[in-house]
């Protein structure tokens, strides 16, 4: 009885020895001559005879016997070829990385096929991220972590999270993006200076490019604040107003037309933002894992403009997105975080209508998630955008 490496017991098969030695001879000579065929049978018969009285023998013992018999023959070059082949097979058995990558690319790895519902493992960008993840995990477990941590992880005592990114030591896990600084003071993307925008729709577009860049340089989720977009609503309104003023229209008409234009621009800007976030693919092989915080208390100067932005985010989320078949569905991102605070929590509050709209959105789309300003102040001493639990 032969004991295999995985512990299984199988009957001794002499032909497997014959086939293994044949490969070694062919590797050296390119063919099997009469001497090779005779010698191979001689070695196989000898090994069979030497183990026939043993109740069990391991694969390694049989391979050791093959090496010994070949080294004792005049064909030590064949012995070396057999030893080299055996060592390569041993390394391959210990190298699960190659196997994982091959199964991933062929779509045969159940783990990677279901690892993340937001990723399509058939897409090239996703496969590139997963291949990097397989490699990172291998390096992490073999070289970067202490052996006791690896052992505990393998036994299920602990779970070492994000081993698929751990080898890239410059990456961050989850970010609160300082969108205000980058929009107000400009930023650099791919070596190009992006200056401060002067219209709301432009700010929305630049915001999504920033989000794409940040999410491509980290793992986990990221959060922005809608309050950082609000100042550009005013910029757009003033631009529309001045256009009509320069045309010689009276004050009332200028304001009326500027109001119409700004509502159209907010709708277009938020739609652009939503389309961009859901259509872009970052280097992780998915749409940015994004949350948008809707917090009126974050600004006093631009609260009116922020309320208009929040309203549009809620309206468009209630409507949903069309999928590839033209059916209205609930998009996964961005997650919406709605803060309950003094200006929207009671029926006589000036922005109560936003909370009503938010509740309608929750009833249909299961978002937004809610944050209590009161409770957060008690627990944290401040209220601020947070990493949504779906992203953390």
Which sequence spans correspond to the domains of the chain?
Answer: 2-94, 97-166, 174-380
Q: What is the pLDDT of residues 45-77, one digit of tens each?
A: 999 998 888 888 888 888 889 998 889 989 899
Over residues 7-34, the mean pLDDT reads: 88
Q: How many residues does the chain have?
A: 392
CA-CA distance, 228 to 255, in Å (whole number)?
A: 24
Q: Contact 387/291 with Cβ under 8 angstroms?
A: yes
Q: What is the pLDDT of residue 108?
A: 72
Q: For helices 34-51 and 59-72, what crossing angle results, to 10°? A: 130
CA-CA distance, 364 to 327, in Å (whole number)?
A: 15
pLDDT grade, residue 305 (50/70/90)? very high
Beta strand 2-3 with 9-10 is: antiparallel
Q: What is the pLDDT of residue 104?
A: 77
For residue 6 the two structure tokens come to: 């995985």
Q: Is the pLDDT of residue 378 over 50?
A: yes
Over residues 124-146, the mean pLDDT reads: 84
- Residue given tokens 């091959």 in the structure block: 102
**174-380 fold:** Anaerobic Ribonucleotide-triphosphate Reductase Large Chain (3.20.70)
pTM: 0.70
Q: Contact 354/311 with Cβ under 8 angstroms?
A: yes
Find residue 10's DSSP bridge partners. 2
């Amino acid at each position: 009885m032969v004991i295999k490496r995985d512990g299984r017991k199988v009957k001794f098969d002499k032909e497997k020895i014959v086939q293994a030695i044949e490969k070694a001879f062919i590797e050296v000579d390119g063919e099997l001559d009469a001497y090779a065929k005779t010698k191979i049978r001689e070695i196989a018969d000898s090994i069979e005879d030497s183990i026939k009285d043993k109740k069990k023998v391991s694969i390694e013992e049989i391979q050791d016997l093959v090496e010994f018999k070949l080294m004792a023959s005049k064909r030590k070059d064949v012995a070396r070829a057999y030893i080299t082949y055996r060592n390569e097979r041993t390394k391959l058995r210990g190298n699960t990385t190659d196997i994982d990558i091959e199964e991933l690319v062929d779509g045969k790895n159940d783990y990677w096929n279901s690892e993340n519902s937001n990723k399509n493992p058939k897409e090239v960008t996703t496969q590139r991220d997963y291949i990097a993840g397989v490699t990172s995990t291998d390096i992490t477990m073999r070289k970067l972590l202490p052996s006791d941590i690896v052992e505990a992880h393998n036994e299920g005592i602990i779970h070492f999270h994000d081993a698929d990114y751990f080898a890239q030591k410059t990456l961050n896990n989850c970010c609160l993006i300082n969108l205000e600084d980058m929009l107000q003071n400009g930023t650099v993307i791919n070596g190009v200076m992006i200056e401060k925008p002067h219209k709301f729709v432009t700010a929305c577009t630049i915001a999504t490019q920033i989000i794409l860049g940040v999410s491509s340089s980290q793992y986990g989720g990221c959060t922005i604040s809608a309050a950082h977009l609000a100042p550009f609503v005013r910029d757009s309104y003033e631009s529309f107003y001045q256009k009509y003023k320069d045309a010689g229209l009276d004050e009332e008409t200028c304001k009326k037309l500027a109001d119409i234009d700004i509502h159209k621009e907010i709708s277009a800007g938020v739609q652009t933002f939503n389309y961009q976030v859901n259509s872009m693919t970052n280097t992780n092989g998915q749409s940015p894992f994004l949350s948008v915080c809707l917090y009126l208390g974050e600004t006093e100067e631009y609260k009116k403009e922020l309320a208009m932005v929040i309203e549009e985010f809620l309206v468009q989320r209630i409507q949903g997105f069309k999928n590839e078949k033209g059916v209205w569905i609930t998009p996964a991102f961005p997650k919406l975080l709605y803060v309950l605070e003094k200006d929207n929590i009671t029926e006589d509050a000036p922005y109560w209508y936003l909370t009503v709209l938010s509740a309608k959105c929750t009833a249909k789309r299961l978002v937004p998630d809610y944050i209590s300003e009161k409770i957060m102040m008690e627990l944290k001493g401040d209220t601020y955008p947070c990493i949504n639990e779906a992203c953390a």
